């Protein structure tokens, strides 16, 4: 791929990542619920799923059509964990903790769960599938992608992730601190629960 093609790819990824969607909403909700580490972990999961579809598009794997059964399992697993997140957040609304209560500690298991749920979003997202398997091949000759240009494309995606995840997670973290200091945490918990429930239902229904 030429530098011009990579620039066009960067523009396409910019638009894809900038467009509001359930993934961004869930990343913000996870930040409000458990802090920026979980928001970033969720975003990295989304990025991993996007890289998977990019790789499928570049390699032309016909096995993508055989991904349906696995995608169904991933969809239900991801929706189940999202519902669990929603239930925990709703419990925070029903039984609000005192203003001075300690924030739950970040654990490797919790981050891993958040990351894995993030992966389910693009793997079952029609927008991501259409973008990588239909839009990109229509505008770029992916058969000409070399290992070097593939690495450059991944680097572009990582740069866009840092840009947008930093913005979404950073703003959500500021809002979280404000809600905690003002004693509005229970309402943030309710909003988080509703967003997680909505994203879970979206995963199940589409």
Q: Write the pLDDT tens digit of every residue in 90-148.
A: 877 777 665 555 566 778 888 998 898 888 888 877 777 778 877 887 777 777 788 89
* Percentage of the chain exceeding pLDDT 70: 83
d(C-alpha 165, C-alpha 14), whole Å: 12
User: Which of 34, 23, 166 shows the shortest CA–CA distance to 111?
Assistant: 34
CB 185 within 8 A of CB 179: yes
Domain boundaries along the sequence of the chain: 3-205
The confidence band for 160, taking pLDDT boundaries of 50, 70 and 90, is: very high
Taking a C-beta distance cutoff of 8 angstroms, is the pair 75, 4 a contact?
no
pTM: 0.78
In tens, the pLDDT along 1-41 reads: 678 888 888 888 888 888 777 788 888 888 888 888 999 99
* Mean pLDDT value across residues 84-90: 80
Find which of 62-66, 71-75, 132-136 is predicted with most confidence, using mean pLDDT.
132-136
Largest Cα separation within the chain, whole Å, is: 59
- Cα 184 from chain centroid (whole Å): 26
- Per-residue pLDDT, averaged over 176-203, amounts to 72
198 close to 35: Cβ distance less than 8 angstroms: no
């Amino acid at each position: 791929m030429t530098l011009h093609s990579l620039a066009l790819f960067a523009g396409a990824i910019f638009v894809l990542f900038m467009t509001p969607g359930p993934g961004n909403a869930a990343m913000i909700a996870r930040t409000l619920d458990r802090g920026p580490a979980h928001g970033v972990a969720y975003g990295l999961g989304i990025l991993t799923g996007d890289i998977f579809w990019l790789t499928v598009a570049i390699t032309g794997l016909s096995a993508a059509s055989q991904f349906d059964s696995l995608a169904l399992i991933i969809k239900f697993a991801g929706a189940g964990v999202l519902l669990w997140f929603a239930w925990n957040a709703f419990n925070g609304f029903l039984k609000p903790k005192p203003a001075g209560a300690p924030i739950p500690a970040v654990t490797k298991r919790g981050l891993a769960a958040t990351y894995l749920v993030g992966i389910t979003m693009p793997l079952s997202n029609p927008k991501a599938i259409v973008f990588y398997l239909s839009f990109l091949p229509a505008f770029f000759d992916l058969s000409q992608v070399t290992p070097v240009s593939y690495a450059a494309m991944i680097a572009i995606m990582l740069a866009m992730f840092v840009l947008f995840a930093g913005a979404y997670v950073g703003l959500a973290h500021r809002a979280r601190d404000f809600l905690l200091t003002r004693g509005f945490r229970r309402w943030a918990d309710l909003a988080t629960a509703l967003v997680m429930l909505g994203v879970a239902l979206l995963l199940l229904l589409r």
